Amino acid sequence: MILGWCTVLSIILWGLVIDRGIVAWLNRHCDQPFRDGADFLFSGILPALAISGAAATVLGAFHGLRWEIVFPIVVISMIWRRRDLVAVLRDLVSLLRKIAAQTKSGNPLPALAALTCITLCYVSSVLAQFPSGVADVWVFHIPLATGIIEHAGFVSPQIDHPFYGNIPLFFNLLFALVMMVSGHWTGASVMNIAIFFGFLFLLSSCASRWRACGFFLVAALILSIPFFRGSVGEPMTDLARSCFSVAAVLFLWRYLETRRPAELFHCALVLGGAVGGKYTELQMVGLIGLALLPTLLKRRVSLPLFLSCLCAFLAVATYWYARNLIVLGNPIYPFMFGHPGLTDAWMADYMLELGRAFDPANRHFVTNLATLQGWRDFLHILYQWFLASKPNAFVALALILAGLAVAFRRIAFLAAITAAMFVIWYTVMFNHIRWATPAYLLFFSTGFIGASLVRERLDQWLDRRVLPQIAPLAKIASSPACRVASPVIIGLLAGGLWISHWHRMGGSDIDPGKAKELDVVLGLISVDKYMESHREAYFMYRYIADHDLRTVFQPFDTANTLLSTAYNGGRDGGWQLPRYVLPAPGSDIDAFIRDNQIGYFIVPPDAGSAFLAERIGEDKIVMANSVIARMMPRSSLILTDKFGWKLYRFDADRAS
């Protein structure tokens, strides 16, 4: 994990160095090219990753993602841009000095914000060590990143699947850059954590003053929601591409506020990353284009700036679409034009799946907004899924309304894009709530911008009424005795709370079943012990590997072999039969059992559910149950875990 963080920080540093030179050139005619060094550091993380990803894309296109090629290029470019490197490091030192100076002057908020950020990153890093229970991680995302590493670049298809092997891979490429060094899937998790916190820094830097307070508000609005918090360390691309999409909108807002050319350039960079990560983000090109259209029509964007932004966008996003156009004849393969390698039946099933709700219980909702019922269902979904029982969502909504009240023109287009994204999600992509991640993230971001605009309106009142009232407290906080006593008191309090919690949880005999994620973060229980008690299939698959059971028949888990490998430290002992290996209809089931040397099988509690039948296929479920029914009379139950999963031993020689 430490090696992964060092790699990510190195990638960000290289991107910041390159980006600083570009920003200085674009803003050369501005009175204030940089708001300040801290703003550049906070807002430059995602553009830096976009620049690094663009450079890696060029190398990957020629199979040059090898350390013997990458390392010299990095060193030479750092020497070439040594002045920018020194400037970035100077900005970082200046930021640390400002935090120390603010603390000495009686303002502990910057130091508390920095400490909070470090703590949150540590917590996210610990939780990222939990192997994901989402099948897509092991079926697609990690294999795609591994495929990029193995080929030192890109091939078509990247994995053995014509569709998933030819999708845009910008974020999988970023995962691969870290995994090249760390050699473990947690490298992808660290990259996702960095992207998410880079977005939080960008959002907090949008406040004109009191960025430390802004970070606390950002954390309270966004990190307090499990919808986002649970995806931070997940090595999937949904949250990452959402951060890039919303960042593009924020950079556009910053450009309209400041007219600094570099803000629009950053908008193009991160928008290219979002589009290079998933087809769905093409919607953002249209939405941002519409928002920028009045400015373009008034010719407030110079031709050189427009061309620079266009080149930045194309440099990051174009490769994936150009490759598919050349190789497959369809830039957005396999949609709309053609799908070589995929049958018409497969495409029909896939389009049916995309066009309807993932959960059958939600398929009665009308998504046609040309009808009154469609609008009723849409508003019902917005309330039940995104607002109900979520106080911070209501706070964000109130902040948006307040922002519209005090500065309508400055926030109206953010609110309009948020509404448009929710409408697009509901009418086009109402398959799963995760497709609404960009819209929901922009919703809270717009709430923060609203709070910033309200605070600007209150600045004079705060400076005249509030700050004088807290001046005595500031003097006390800045006294030498307080600066020494505060960390000591905080340390003693934290230690006392840890010991108290340790005793309350049972000391050295802590019950894994009662443990929480916090207990893993505090070091009270190991990741393995926690996972065995809280993650479905984890204990079962670990047991199978520890006892080298062969061969296990598990047709009810879509990623059984991949999860078995992930849950056992990457070991693949071939313990389980792939779930798609089933007897052909009408074939000899006894011969199938004998030929595959099945000695064990697993029956989960939801083996007969309609949801599982839809995901795997009713015909396959029927066939799997027929195999289990043939083995059951000659089997004995050897293990049942707390989730109701049952492991049976099959004795072929025992009389039924």
Token pair, residue 394, equals 């209501």
Same domain, 280 and 351: yes
In which band, very low, low, confident or very high, does the pLDDT at 267 lie, cut at 50, 70 and 90?
very high
User: What per-residue confidence (pLDDT) applies to 460?
Assistant: 67
Same domain, 596 and 492: no
Same domain, 7 and 75: yes
**176/158 Cα distance (integer angstroms):** 13
Percent of the chain at pLDDT exceeding 90: 46
- Among residues 480, 504, 528, the one where a domain terminates is 504
Q: Are the CB atoms for 51 and 89 separated by under 8 Å? A: no
Same domain, 542 and 498: no
Nearest to residue 90, comparing CAs of 6, 20, 15? 20
Same domain, 12 and 96: yes
Pairing relationship of beta strands 600-603 and 646-650 according to DSSP bridges: antiparallel
Is residue 482 a part of any domain in this protein?
Answer: yes
Residue 201, pLDDT above cutoff 90: yes
Is residue 217 a part of any domain in this protein?
Answer: yes
**405/497 Cα distance (integer angstroms):** 44
Same domain, 51 and 183: yes
Residue 472, pLDDT above cutoff 70: no
Pairing relationship of beta strands 646-650 and 635-640 according to DSSP bridges: antiparallel
Is residue 386 a part of any domain in this protein?
Answer: no
Which of 58-67, 152-161, 454-463, 590-599 has the least mean pLDDT? Answer: 454-463
Instruction: Give how many domains the chain has, as a whole number.
Output: 3
Is residue 528 a part of any domain in this protein?
Answer: no
Is residue 48 a part of any domain in this protein?
Answer: yes
User: 408 or 656: whose pLDDT is higher?
Assistant: 408
User: What per-residue confidence (pLDDT) applies to 337?
Assistant: 83
Q: Are the CB atoms for 451 and 217 separated by under 8 Å? A: yes
Residue 656, pLDDT above cutoff 60: no
Token pair, residue 564, equals 């078995």
Same domain, 66 and 196: yes
Is residue 511 a part of any domain in this protein?
Answer: no
DSSP 342: S
Same domain, 486 and 544: no
User: What per-residue confidence (pLDDT) applies to 324?
Assistant: 93
User: What per-residue confidence (pLDDT) applies to 31?
Assistant: 74
- Among residues 452, 485, 504, the one where a domain terminates is 504
**13/21 Cα distance (integer angstroms):** 13
Q: Are the CB atoms for 316 and 272 separated by under 8 Å? A: yes
In which band, very low, low, confident or very high, does the pLDDT at 478 lie, cut at 50, 70 and 90?
low
In which band, very low, low, confident or very high, does the pLDDT at 11 lie, cut at 50, 70 and 90?
very high
User: What per-residue confidence (pLDDT) applies to 530?
Assistant: 84
Burial class of residue 383, CB neighbours in 10 A (0-12, 13-18, 19+): exposed
In which band, very low, low, confident or very high, does the pLDDT at 336 lie, cut at 50, 70 and 90?
confident
User: What per-residue confidence (pLDDT) applies to 477?
Assistant: 58
Tokens 């792939």 correspond to what residue? 578
Give the HSE-up count for residue 606: Cα atoms under 13 Å, Cβ half-sphere: 13
Same domain, 481 and 618: no
Percent of the chain that is helix, strand, coil (3-state, to 5): 70, 5, 30
- Among residues 322, 355, 388, the one where a domain terminates is 355
Sequence-distant (6+) residues with CB within 8 A of 76 are none
Structural domain that includes position 560: 536-650
Which of 112-121, 280-289, 441-450 has the least mean pLDDT? Answer: 112-121
Same domain, 542 and 499: no
- Which one-letter amino acid corresponds to residue 64? G
Is residue 523 a part of any domain in this protein?
Answer: no
Same domain, 223 and 134: yes
CA distances (Å), origin 566, targets 494, 528, 537, 642: 35, 12, 12, 20
Is residue 462 a part of any domain in this protein?
Answer: no
Same domain, 4 and 152: yes
pLDDT in tens, 587-621: 888 899 999 999 999 999 887 777 777 778 888 88
**Region 60-73 average pLDDT:** 92
